[in-house]
Every structure is written in C-alpha cells, then in structure tokens.
Amino acid sequence: MVSSGYNTPESELEGILPVHPTAARRPHSLVVQSDLTSYTDDHITAKYTNRGANVTLNNGQLLINPTQESFEFQTKRAPSKTGLMMIGLGGNNGTTLTATILANRHNISWHTKDGLQQPNYIGSMLRASTVRIGTETGTGKDVHVPVSDVLPMVHPNDLVLGGWDISGVPMDQAMKRAKVLEWDLQRQVAPHMAAMKPLPSIYYPDFIAANQEGRADNVLAGTDKQAHLEQIRKDIRAFKQDNKLDRVVVFWTANTERYSDIIPGVNDTADNLLNSIKTSHNEVSPSTVFAVAAILEGEPFVNGAPQNTFVPGVIQLAERNKSFIGGDDLKSGQTKLKSVLAEFLVNAGIKPLSIASYNHLGNNDGHNLSSERQFKSKEISKSSVVDDMVDANRLLYKGPEGGKGKGEHPDHIVVIKYVPAVGDSKRAIDEYYSEIFCGGRSTINIFNECEDSLLATPLIIDLAILTELLTRVQYRKADSGEFQPLYSVLSLLSYMLKAPLVKPGTEVINSLNRQRNALDTFLKACLGLENNGDLLMETRIW
C-alpha cells in the first residue's frame, strides 16, 4: 500500500519509545511560584514587563528615556498532534529527517566502523541544548534545563511525516540515492519507509535548474496554477484528516528556486497575487503556491531555502488570514559560524576588511545551485549576514553619507561549486582579513567539513516544533482586551535561518547571540520570568 505519510498507531508506539537521554520524554516539570504566573489544566498565563529605551539625538546629545510595557502571555499546555509535510520529501533532507526520526522512535541502533551508534537528536537546539533559568537555593550555582522543558513542546518522535516531491521514488530508495546515512541504519529503517511515496509536487521548469528535469517524474499535470493550488490545499486537508491531526506545518526543503521578480499588479498585494495564480502568471513560483495553500488552510508555512517565496502579496495574505509564516534558508554551518565570528571581531574592536567564503559539495542541492540563477538566490541569503554587526559599530565603519545608503562595509564574496565526488559532505573555507592596531593586519582561515543534511535536519525539526508552539501562544497588553495570536511573521525562528523574515519595516537581526537571547527571553516571558543576565550581582558586587 502506497502512503503519502508515515503514521504509527498509538498502540504500536507503546513500549518502544527510545530510552536514549537526549530523546527521552519528560513531563513539563517547571513550576513558577509567583503572583505573575498562574496555571490551569489548559493554560499557562504569565505577566511580563518588556523594558527598553527610546533614544533621541538633540544638539549632539543623546537623550535616553527608559521605557516599559506590560504584557500577558497565555500558552496552551497541551501540544497539538502535529504533522510535518515537507516539499522535497524525497530529497537529502527529507529522507534523512524521516529515517532519523524513525530510528529514534523505534530505538534503532546501528553499526559503524567506530562501533555501535545510538539514535539521538544532537544538533537540535531544542533537544540537545539548555537554557539558564536561575541559581540554586543555598549554593548559588547556575541551574540549566533543556530548552524543550521550558514550555510544553511536541516531541520529535510524535511528528507525523509526509509531503511532496517532483521525484516519485519510494522513500527507502530515495534514502539510498541520497547517500547520507550509514548503510546499517538504512538497512533497518528501509522496511518502515518502503511504503512511503511522496505526493505529486509542482514543477515549473523556469524556477529550478534544467539539470533537475530528469528527476521530475511525479508532478501535477498541466500549467493551471489555480488547479495546482487547489490540489495542494486538498492534500493538506486529507493528510490532516487521515492522521487525525490538530496542526500541520508545511515546510519547503526542496530545490532552491530563482528569485521571483516583484511586479506591481502581480505579486505586490494579496489580491493581486491570488489573481495572478488564477491567471497562471509566469512569475508565481512553486514555493509561493505552496505558501498560499498553507495560508488559506490556516496552517503554518516555513521556507527552508533562500528564494523570495514570501513576496509582498504572501506576507499580506498571511496577515489577513492570521496565518503563520517563517523563513528563509536553513542556517546550518558556514553562515552560522560567520554570524558568530564576525560579531566577535567587531565587538573586540577589530575591523574585518574582507570575508571570502568558498563551498563545494556534491549533493543534489549543489547540482541545482550550479545554475547561475539559483546560485544568485543563495548568494543573496548568505551575503547580508554581517550587516547588523557592521551597522552597530560606526567607530570602525563609516556610516552612509547623509544617513542614507549602506555605508562602509567589508568586502564579502560567496562561491559555491558543485563537486559530485564529495556527495553530501560539504567543504567550506572562510578567510577573515582584518585591520588591527596601528595599521596591522590579521588573517583567520577556517576549514569546515560536514555532512550537510545531518546539520540541516535538526534545524527542520526545531523549526517545525517551535512553529507549532508559537501557534499556541497568545498575548494581550496590560490586561486590556482579548488575547490575540502572535504576529504572522515568526521572526523568533531567526536563530535557525540565514536570511530571517521579519515584519515589514523592522530591522533584520543576524547576530546569532542576539537571536538566541531573543528566543530564550521569549520562552521565559511565557512563564513570567525575567531574562537572567550575566551580571550575577550576588557574586560580583556584594
């Protein structure tokens, strides 16, 4: 029997959940004892004060006015029964994610040349990292808890998996084609994946490289984009109903598309975009059709690739329908390191003059990116990662003339080459060339080798789980009015994304430390906790 998704009956799951410590379930055990926080069977409700400062420049003097605004957050305690529908299900990321969740779910261990390997969720920020919540009574030692324990979250093992792909190869064979996982693991999970076959996907040849045509044997017929939209919506509804789900996260992990042109009257507003789909306009991309389908079905959509899926009409449509969107482009290796190292140098008062990044890889993503128009999308998402660090230090970098434009900026170049022999094992080389004291120069070279999909897969898991959590959080200001959902653009997902989508008109933050701090602070705010700073007054001042 061919299935579009994997769903193990609850009776079959009983007794076979993994016992590995990074994957084991724990009850939600954090209880905040405060008049700011209250609990019912259904909700956690917490009051939180957001503190900041407004700054005004007046005759060369900075006038600073501290501000504070009170909020109340209400979080549903029970995680939704959640499905994850991936576009690109049969690709390297989709097959790796499916196989590794199955390994964790069934506690499958496998032999490698280094010995027996246990399944885990290493690389997942939620499942394998911690957050500081305070100090231990009596000892003053820091207390850290897993991020996944701060608020009730879906366990990765419970995600119901399915999705679409332009290639109709069954999932066990697609996993073999990807050449990511150890053979002994593939051997054991293959029987679970053999019945899984991706649903037919959307294929518009103009948007991906011509070298992908040979894989496109599982596509929706015709060129009627409205018909394609309706079919994708039908697929989402059927998947949700068949698996008795409360929530479906739709995730683009397929090939990088070329950038779509933003054309007035075509994709600049929600109504224009919907009309352009009806008329099958050639500037409406497959990923945009999928995003619109998810929005109209009231389900979240996350873009894990660098193209501009979220044209202005998509954002407006999400706002109008109070649906959730997030993206763009998974931040797994080189760019994540760049956002840390560039910030370190600038914060240390060292001036990066140039940042040169070179990659080569041999998986299908690299094959697609060997086409110039698709590479351009990736180059754009990678190139802006240091902008906010530079803008934060005008002692090192001159600002734009008249306050407009980009101002002084390091030379920044990104190169990606397709080398089939290395497969999924990506090689990344970075050179940071900087000015130091009194005209001196410093060069830092970094070589990074990694299995691309083994870094990306945990990010997909984290993004899906965080997205589901954010659909359960509502807020209101200072006890006034009804609780309402968070804003449609989920910028709190930025930690996992190269080119974070933010509310139009607001600044993009690429600093990895600031992104992580924002997420930690928000999770604590939903419990009524102030963010614990590093001043540690009790040990440093008195």
Nearest Cα neighbor of 466 from 518, 513, 533 is 518
* 329 carries an active-site annotation: yes
Q: Which of 197, 331, 351, 378 is catalytic?
A: 378
The C-alpha angle with vertex 63 and arms to 57 and 65, in degrees rounded to 5, equals 130
Q: Which of 149, 328, 329, 387 is catalytic?
A: 329
Q: Is 119 in a helix, a strand, or coil?
A: coil
* 172 carries an active-site annotation: no
Alpha-carbon distance of 200 to 286, in angstroms, equals 12
Q: What is the full DSSP assignment across 430-495?
A: EEEEEE-GGG-EEEEEEEEEEEHHHHHHHHHHHHHHHHHHHHTEEEEETTEEEEEEPPSB-GGGGG
* 498 carries an active-site annotation: yes
Q: Which of 462, 498, 520, 524 is catalytic?
A: 498
Nearest Cα neighbor of 148 from 13, 245, 28, 60 is 28
Alpha-carbon distance of 171 to 495, in angstroms, equals 30
Identify the residue whose tokens are 């998704």: 5
Nearest Cα neighbor of 359 from 452, 278, 269 is 452
Q: Is 361 in a helix, a strand, or coil?
A: strand
Which amino acid belongs to residue 310? F
Give the number of C-alpha atoms closer than 13 A to the C-alpha of residue 107, restricted to the C-beta side.
10
Put residue 149 in one of left, alpha, beta given phi > 0 → left and psi -120 to 50 → alpha.
Answer: alpha
Q: How does DSSP classify residue 392?
A: T
Please state whether beta strands 441-451 and 425-435 pair in parallel, antiparallel, or not at all (unpaired). Answer: antiparallel
Greatest alpha-carbon pair distance for the chain in Å reads 75
Q: Is 24 in a helix, a strand, or coil?
A: coil
Give the number of C-alpha atoms closer than 13 A to the C-alpha of residue 506, restricted to the C-beta side.
12
Tokens describing residue 398: 């001159």
Q: How does DSSP classify residue 249?
A: E
Please state whether beta strands 82-87 and 247-252 pair in parallel, antiparallel, or not at all (unpaired). Answer: parallel
Nearest Cα neighbor of 428 from 416, 420, 418 is 416
The answer to whether 396 and 346 are in contact (CB under 8 A) is: yes
Tokens describing residue 330: 């998974």
Alpha-carbon distance of 100 to 81, in angstroms, equals 19
Q: Which of 351, 426, 430, 452 is catalytic?
A: 426
Would you name the residues annotated as active-site residues?
Answer: 329, 378, 426, 498
